[in-house]
Amino acid sequence: MALELCQCDMESDLYVPRPAQVVAVEPQTPMETLVRFKFPDGADLGHKPGQFVQIFIPGIGEAPISVCSAPNAECTFDLTVRKLGDVTGALHRLQPGDTVGIRGPFGNGFDMEALQGYDLVIVGGGIGLVPLRSVIQYVADHRADYANVHLLYGFKSPVEQMYVDELAQWQADCDMDVRLTIDKPHDAWDGHVGVITTLFPDLTIVPPRTYALVVGPPIMYQFVITECRLKGLADDHIIMSLERRMRCGVGKCGHCQINSKYVCMDGPVFTFSDVKHLWEAI
């Protein structure tokens, strides 16, 4: 796929995409593919874990996608894309050397500096692990800055498990407690079975020194937040991403608005104390 994008002096403009080249494509599941990008001039995206970009395919459209990699020395950045529509379908057809347009990064990410020295419980449900991958990579790259790290990851079936090799690496090489579960028994699975909240009873945490970082489908939040509270975590120690509500990225379209909050600008990362009064709208 050869795409022509205008390189102009307005690249700092929020509305002008920067050309980015595909450098690798790595299928994860039948529905999700990881695509790695790099700007031709070698510039860094300049993102924080938890932020997102708008990716533009000329002649097809634009979509908001969470960045799923931490900043790195190679100045590459990863997007893991679920194939659902025209834009995401086109992204699944990309090959190394193809060019797309990138706007952003947008939104507020996870404050990794504020979390230094604390225990972390990272909870990902399904494709909620995608934006959390940027957090996990960041923690792995700065492992001495964080205390105990627990990763709880739930998915529906073995074929839907993402980042299989990386999960094993995080467990073996990065001193992380990785706990996996699938929703229902499966012949190809000999690990834990049950929804993600069934991983909490065996989890030992010290609430004042622990933060939970939670991303997953909307129905998961209420149950995981309940479990976090039962473990003694304060509402401002429960950090969540509402990345599924992202739209334009600059607060213009209004699709992400929840009462007084614009998810694309005030979030997508919030503490639960920030949004619990909006819970019914979420």
Instruction: Render pLDDT for 79-103 as a digit per residue (tens, 0 to 9).
Output: 999 998 899 999 999 999 999 999 9
Clarify whether residues 166 and 238 are in a common domain.
yes
- Band of the pLDDT at 253, cuts 50, 70, 90? low
CA separation, residue 42 to residues 14, 46, 98, 103 (Å): 19, 12, 16, 16
Clarify whether residues 260 and 139 are in a common domain.
yes
Domain extent for 28: 18-105
pTM above 0.75, yes or no: yes
Clarify whether residues 135 and 214 are in a common domain.
yes
Clarify whether residues 73 and 142 are in a common domain.
no
Strand 177-182 versus strand 149-155 pairing type = parallel
Note whether residue 139 is domain-resident. Answer: yes
With a cut of 50, say whether residue 234 has pLDDT above it. Answer: yes
Clarify whether residues 86 and 125 are in a common domain.
no
Q: What is the pLDDT of residue 2?
A: 43
Backbone angles phi, psi at 43, to 5 degrees: -70, 150
Note whether residue 113 is domain-resident. Answer: no
Q: What is the pLDDT of residue 127?
A: 93
Note whether residue 11 is domain-resident. Answer: no
Rounded to an integer, what distance in angstroms lies between the CA atom of residue 110 and that of residue 117?
A: 15
Taking every pair of C-alpha atoms in the chain, what is the biggest distance, in angstroms? 57
Note whether residue 10 is domain-resident. Answer: no
Note whether residue 136 is domain-resident. Answer: yes
Note whether residue 8 is domain-resident. Answer: no
What is the overall mean pLDDT for the chain?
Answer: 89
Q: Which domain-ending residue is among 78, 105, 132? A: 105
Clarify whether residues 77 and 50 are in a common domain.
yes
Strand 149-155 versus strand 119-125 pairing type = parallel
Clarify whether residues 89 and 129 are in a common domain.
no
With a cut of 70, say whether residue 13 has pLDDT above it. Answer: no
Q: What is the pLDDT of residue 91?
A: 94
Q: What is the pLDDT of residue 277?
A: 78
Secondary structure (H, E, C), the chain:
CCCCCCCCCCCCCCCCCEEEEEEEEEECCCCEEEEEEECCCCCCCCCCCCCEEEEEECCCEEEEEEECCCCCCCCEEEEEEECCCHHHHHHHCCCCCCEEEEEEEECECCCCCCCCCCEEEEEEEHHHHHHHHHHHHHHHHCHHHCCCEEEEEEECCHHHCCCHHHHHHHHHHCCCEEEEEECCCCCCCCCEECCHHHHCCCCCCCHHHEEEEEECCHHHHHHHHHHHHHCCCCHHHEEEECHHHCCCCCCCCCCCEECCEEHHHHCEEEEHHHHHHHCCCC
Clarify whether residues 201 and 265 are in a common domain.
yes
Q: What is the pLDDT of residue 7?
A: 43
Clarify whether residues 92 and 145 are in a common domain.
no
Of 54-68, 215-229, 240-254, least confident by mean pLDDT is 240-254
CATH of the domain at 82: 2.40.30.10
Q: What is the pLDDT of residue 185?
A: 93
Q: Exposure of 110 by Cβ count < 10 A (0-12 exposed, 13-18 middle, 19+ buried)?
A: buried
Structural domains of the chain, count: 2
Mean pLDDT value across residues 64-84: 95
Cβ-proximal residues to 92 (8 Å cutoff; 6+ apart), any chain: 33, 81, 83
